[in-house]
Structure 1
């Protein structure tokens, strides 16, 4: 930078101040002070690379429009990212590092420390980010910006540390008396800093930067996330070492530094600009011609005028996933999306979808498969994910390159720059593996929770929205979102609708009210309205697709299509298998006796049905019922013929059991004639569990979930079955029908699903031996049960049904209200024009995975523990397999996977007791285990948790003794 030229424009003292204002201290900048102007330009240079290499075409187009036309958005984007830290040109920041503070004082900039201290004590959050928001607002107004433009820019600056304050918040505390914001010469220096930075970016003056349009609030949130991303990269001292000589500071110098960092990090985008695929693309991607329903879906998205919402409803096994992927490619090509997010209901369903997504993007372009990120809390145990990282020479999960939320080093391993990634890396860039960053990768598969988190009032929520915007979003099994979760889903759809993000939702069993709510939420967001009442047409058949979008005319548009399924209806014979239920007065012994009798009855049933061999799937509504039945069946059939699968196995064992079940009952596994296999599972087997059973025994569940379970029957053609099982049969149990009154239900079922839907589902069960034509009967059954205003229950049940309905209505209202306190946007604020105050006005969920999951899933926050063993008289801790961990629990590298694989989630009732647990002594400094709680089992694998005794068994998992 030409200091002499600056001296001709500004007073000498102002130039001297620019030479002293520090952005990063020596300790945080590789040993040399990094001047503030250098950091601003470094961040702008990174932003240019984000624009060129990571931003979706749709985002670039939107920013071009805001900036005044094609080619103008890039410079505005760089300016917005770079200006984020201008608030560091205040005493609020400059006083924090003694050495830097002294240098600034010597340049002539002073402050009264006692007043600054008083102000800082009064408002502890008044740091450089809030100071910057205030400063930018004032300076932009002074440069002639319209208020509506400066009003959306200043929150980007004030919120770049993760939360957006209100305008009242950013005002300097009165007790500071101007000594945090800076008075006198400070104002001239602050104006000069903004002007010099702006001109170095390529604008003639600050007034010239002013956009011609105001971005939507969703685009502002996306921009904010990108500002944070640029800041975090430019704050990494391994690539941006200190630059303390103003003469060496320039945008060109920063571009060189940014280019080196970009190459080392190996950050890559997704599709870029896609050609609209032709009719041959489906066969090329998936190896077969599209079925009628799949062709219908692809044609539907070709008819959309602008990005919108697509609702695909089709039976299990119809090929909804492939239809959605084909539609996503068309949407990405037409509307400029650069990648995809696929949200699944559970971690277990995310893992196989990760494989399928990699195959799909690889079929589009071979190199893309290595850029797909798996995003959920247990991905470290997914073999394909681990192999992907290991083959690329990647470090473990926490060994990513980056900084923390304040731009400080966050790299416990000291990874060298060359280890962070290169253009040759055949795995997702490690930068994306850091906390809150996963959605920024171009292709992401994870739980739907990742999307729901983007609708919560949490720090750095802007990073999540930045990751979703510019993608096509696919949400599978969307019916699995209950009343509570649906509040977050609808809030997310509002933001995505406003952002113009194409969204595809899939369901085999979607209630009409759910379809209405999803479409309405998306269109309300697209219209930037608080409320928008629309009448969503009823699909004319099944399978069907509903498309909805809001063109510039402002009138919502709908397209409804339906076609025949590619398979004939499967006539499923439905039997009711009554189970005697205990009442509230039953003793524990009586309950155990009745449970044993029920298990024996299922054993008798399976012995009869599988007399000639075959496979059976049994789904229980609770872990305890599954464990109890497994014990009965193991005694009858032997351990070789029975498997147990539920969520209270360790993560490693659960993954192995899931993989084994999918292999033994999968579509490509030969079935030996006469062979017999029984899988006893919980709701894990309900969704995206691609097994083929000859016979199904299931606890009663709401009709949509019951039909999901039926979808595991006779799923694949060409599978060997005994003659007696050539007709699919389902036995519904877990409840007790009664002649003169309503049925009674298993306690666990009632706690999970409520009496209301269980009663209405019981009412549509056919008489013993009658059939449900599947999938033809699916829409009618779902609509009948969920049309709560329609009479359905027998006369003898109606009073109980009215009471249950009222209880459910009150419960739904209470749960919805509970969820709303964590929603990103409070009711009544959806029409606000800026992000100011977005994080205030309600409860704020914690940012860690457990807290977020508890917030969006309405469960008592459960806790995970690592199981270790120490026998009486044994000085060392051991793994479940018996490998030594030493007296303090030291974990050797070759034992780490085994220890991490021993994590199990406790039932919520053990939470309070588990809060008393902590890491083993040697874990406190361990990067993966320092926050882990150890549950120490004795030689018999038992432990006390509060007043309970629990045990862990390789066959049964975690149990209360």
Structure 2
């Protein structure tokens, strides 16, 4: 800072800069850190981020905002550095008594009773300071308007402008009278001069970034602040003469080396025509070439919707599209979002293999993000040699790293960025393992929830968005998102579109309306419009597989579309359709009637399988509820013995993982060069777990009725692999539909071809569990389609007919259901539409932007009316996923005075767990049904020996007696090694957990 910048009493102001503290002695390694030092430290960290972390696309965006190539670096450093300028106020400086005394001695005072009584956060004070300083330096209103929220929001939430003003009752005391405004100006000017700007006016940008780009930038500012606030790397400096950008850069260099940050691809080279063979060992299929060509034709970052049948190779096509889009538009990494934790795990392996083929070092930079990742052996191997526990879910605060505002010295995020227990691992830098930071890793595989979290009105949401920006986002099985989750998905696509993030969506069975909704959302964001409708410009694909590409033209000529289709790599399977109606007990039926109907249904399936598998073969039976799967399994075991396997969500995670691996080993894809070694006879009974990423091949499928897209997903497990030898009577694929009643014909189907084909005049009855899960509307339309086709051709050509079948059920057509069903169908549709609206409105309460606010220009007020569920004790999964909450418990067995694991190994009287037993204890984790979850949350606690354990202290224990039974929510529950958790009849007068 030159002398010309100082007012008449410049010596006093220099003296004030020499005592303004940014970190107290307790927070800076024993020596107070001057405020100017912390600002420069943060700016120096930003420079390191620019050189070694930011994606080329982010740098290009910042250069454009700053006014030219290479100018973005200094602007970025300045924006990060100025974040704590609000600490140069009495409201903050009074908070550390020793520092306050020095401030007063330097001639800066305040009325202590007034300032102490009226709290004013330093992040909001910083916004106020900038709104005074920047206009005086000549900045235009438009640029001041987007910059001040970056400062106001750096502790996690963006307030409205009115909330950043100093308390009126303070009468200027909180902001500072006398020399205070000049000291605040001098602080900002000194930062500006150290970064080699001539004056503050030279800092002013030339372009206002989009709101999504601002959110991205805000996340990077928070990241730089957290790094620069780590006292291990940034000890205090209390002499102004020692404070300069050179010293800050030296400190930042040491921190950077210690943190071991690794960028992703950098500027990736565009894939060559032969790259696909190099990556995957074979030439691309026609549909995969279609995807790659569409990615190459996109003129700007956009949306790529890939629709193809199961087994077509969508994942490999998406990987190549991601490479192409990253090379063309400057993305540095990828986020792959999957529908569930179980589908994320195998994808983690695939992504590591793929990025490792590009650069072997990058395979160690892939993060797995979901709540059960420590059950993934590959992820744990990456952290091998770590000391402490990187997976302690709370990390010193709550489950999602939330802090309750500032602490005494305004260090509200200290607990988040000073976690010295993090390990040194072979995987991603340990800094990324902290709360809310996982998406910042260059390559990430996780549940789609990670994207949905990034568009909730929660604290530090900017960190999540910063983790997505600069990447290519790939979302698999997007059809799995229901109407509630779809609100968050479309909101996410809006923000990604506005931020210029390329997105690849994969689906096997995407309804046309959903495809349009997702496309409109992305383009609406890219165009920064509240509403966007592609209309007739977006045509329907004329074939299957298909690719729909959409982007906004760089020349501002509007939305551009590229829709193409081709034939699949395999011929259609002509899947024969058979119906197995059953007696369905109505809602008023007695318990005895329900059990009788279930026994008859199980007997019918057992008899049918006895005939069909007489010469051997492998059958998959999918039930819509755990209870139906368990009762059928019991009956089948009596008939077929060890040839039956059961798989559902209430089997403890350890045994379930083993059983899933067993199923895949028996019925999974044959290893290359080896013929399939299949069992002579096998029956797998499963729930909806078998719908997604369950790569098994069944000779015969029996399934409860479900909406047509899910039914087709299940059919995708039929005759899935080539070169499989099948028994003669199962040589042709066949699906038998159960789970409905009210159909003419034999109620107990005991022989092939014995099912009736006449439609009853009444609409069919459905199982109560099926209607609860899926709703009557979609079940009726699917049943109508199915019954009609059974009467007609008696088969579905799969995958050729998949788009048409899905469109028929989800489309607006009224001619699908028989006339006799119309009244029932109309009532069901009305209930369904009402429920859909209610669920969409419920989700809207939690979205990052509200209706009417989607064309906002700045981040001001983004967190107005923040989520009521965003504080302590409320998981974000309850925000982005609808339905009744379910809880997880760890099952242990109490025998005498001690405990043992589910598999029988002994623990102590307090339940203490040694390292060699940890996996076994956690392997006893099981998810409870919703009917038991509320009671479990209220009554179950960790065992005494778990309270000090980093990975067990938050786990609820369900203690079973030696017979593996307990009472919970007045229900008798027991854990059976084969059946999993069995929920029995209601009992009264027994304490929970007894």
SS of aligned partner of 2:495:
helix
Cα displacement (A) at 1:949: 2.3
The 5 A counterparts of 1:232-381 are 232-381=226-375
Cα displacement (A) at 1:223: 0.4
Structure-1 residue corresponding to 2:545: 543
Separation (CA, whole Å) in 1 of partners of 2:591 and 2:281: 56
2:783 to 750, 759, 762: 762
Cα displacement (A) at 1:410: 4.6
Structure-2 residue corresponding to 1:94: 93
Cα displacement (A) at 1:215: 0.3
Cα displacement (A) at 1:371: 0.7
1:779 has 2:781 as partner: no
Alignment check: 8 A CA contact 2:387 2:423 kept: no
Structure-2 residue corresponding to 1:960: 983
Change (3 A) 1:855 1:195: same
Structure-1 residue corresponding to 2:750: none
User: Per-residue displacement from partner, 1:932-955 (whole Å, max 9, x unpaired)?
Assistant: 222222222222223222222222
Cα displacement (A) at 1:127: 1.1
Alignment check: 8 A CA contact 1:400 1:420 kept: no
Separation (CA, whole Å) in 2 of partners of 1:901 and 1:737: 43
* TM-score after normalising by structure 2: 0.92
Structure-2 residue corresponding to 1:532: 532
SS of aligned partner of 1:950:
strand
Segments of structure 2 that go 5 or more residues without pairing to the other structure are 404-411, 744-759, 985-994
2:560 to 550, 557, 560: 557
RMSD: 2.2
Cα displacement (A) at 1:173: 1.7
SS of aligned partner of 2:383:
helix
Separation (CA, whole Å) in 1 of partners of 2:167 and 2:185: 22
SS of aligned partner of 1:767:
helix
Separation (CA, whole Å) in 2 of partners of 1:795 and 1:849: 51
Structure-1 residue corresponding to 2:59: 60
SS of aligned partner of 1:190:
helix
What count of residue pairs does the alignment treat as equivalent?
946
Alignment check: 8 A CA contact 2:78 2:195 kept: yes
User: Per-residue displacement from partner, 1:878-897 (whole Å, max 9, x unpaired)?
Assistant: 32233344333333232222
Change (3 A) 1:546 1:898: same
SS of aligned partner of 1:38:
helix
SS of aligned partner of 2:627:
helix
Cα displacement (A) at 1:10: 6.0
Cα displacement (A) at 1:399: 9.7
Alignment check: 8 A CA contact 2:114 2:170 kept: yes
User: Per-residue displacement from partner, 1:125-153 (whole Å, max 9, x unpaired)?
Assistant: x3111111111121111211111101111
Cα displacement (A) at 1:923: 3.2
1:36 has 2:23 as partner: no
1:837 has 2:843 as partner: no
1:192 to 186, 200, 212: 186
Structure-1 residue corresponding to 2:956: 933
* TM-score after normalising by structure 1: 0.95
Structure-1 residue corresponding to 2:969: 946
Change (3 A) 1:847 1:442: farther
User: Per-residue displacement from partner, 1:297-345 (whole Å, max 9, x unpaired)?
Assistant: 1111111111111111111111111111111100000000001111111
Separation (CA, whole Å) in 2 of partners of 1:938 and 1:401: 33
Separation (CA, whole Å) in 1 of partners of 2:533 and 2:159: 32
Structure-1 residue corresponding to 2:491: 491
Alignment check: 8 A CA contact 1:381 1:655 kept: no
Alignment check: 8 A CA contact 1:30 1:242 kept: yes
User: Per-residue displacement from partner, 1:337-386 (whole Å, max 9, x unpaired)?
Assistant: 00111111111111111111111111111111111111111101011111
Separation (CA, whole Å) in 1 of partners of 2:22 and 2:383: 35
Alignment check: 8 A CA contact 2:666 2:679 kept: no
Structure-2 residue corresponding to 1:793: 817
Q: Larger deviation: 102-111 or 270-279?
A: 102-111
User: Per-residue displacement from partner, 1:64-86 (whole Å, max 9, x unpaired)?
Assistant: 00000000000100111111111
Structure-2 residue corresponding to 1:651: 653
Separation (CA, whole Å) in 2 of partners of 1:213 and 1:194: 22
Change (3 A) 1:842 1:12: closer
Separation (CA, whole Å) in 1 of partners of 2:539 and 2:510: 14
Cα displacement (A) at 1:413: 7.2
Alignment check: 8 A CA contact 2:629 2:686 kept: yes
Segments of structure 1 that go 5 or more residues without pairing to the other structure are 121-125
Q: Larger deviation: 374-383 or 939-948?
A: 939-948
SS of aligned partner of 2:550:
strand
Separation (CA, whole Å) in 1 of partners of 2:736 and 2:475: 31
Structure-1 residue corresponding to 2:571: 568
Change (3 A) 1:8 1:520: closer
Separation (CA, whole Å) in 1 of partners of 2:418 and 2:960: 31
Structure-2 residue corresponding to 1:123: none
Alignment check: 8 A CA contact 1:826 1:841 kept: no
SS of aligned partner of 1:501:
coil
Separation (CA, whole Å) in 1 of partners of 2:240 and 2:651: 60
Separation (CA, whole Å) in 1 of partners of 2:771 and 2:32: 64
Structure-2 residue corresponding to 1:177: 171
User: Per-residue displacement from partner, 1:629-686 (whole Å, max 9, x unpaired)?
Assistant: 1112222222x32221111222223222222222221102665576112211111110
Separation (CA, whole Å) in 2 of partners of 1:58 and 1:411: 27
Separation (CA, whole Å) in 1 of partners of 2:201 and 2:84: 19
Separation (CA, whole Å) in 2 of partners of 1:466 and 1:849: 25
1:610 has 2:613 as partner: yes
Cα displacement (A) at 1:247: 1.6
Q: Larger deviation: 839-848 or 446-455?
A: 839-848
1:634 has 2:658 as partner: no
1:883 has 2:905 as partner: yes
Structure-2 residue corresponding to 1:132: 126
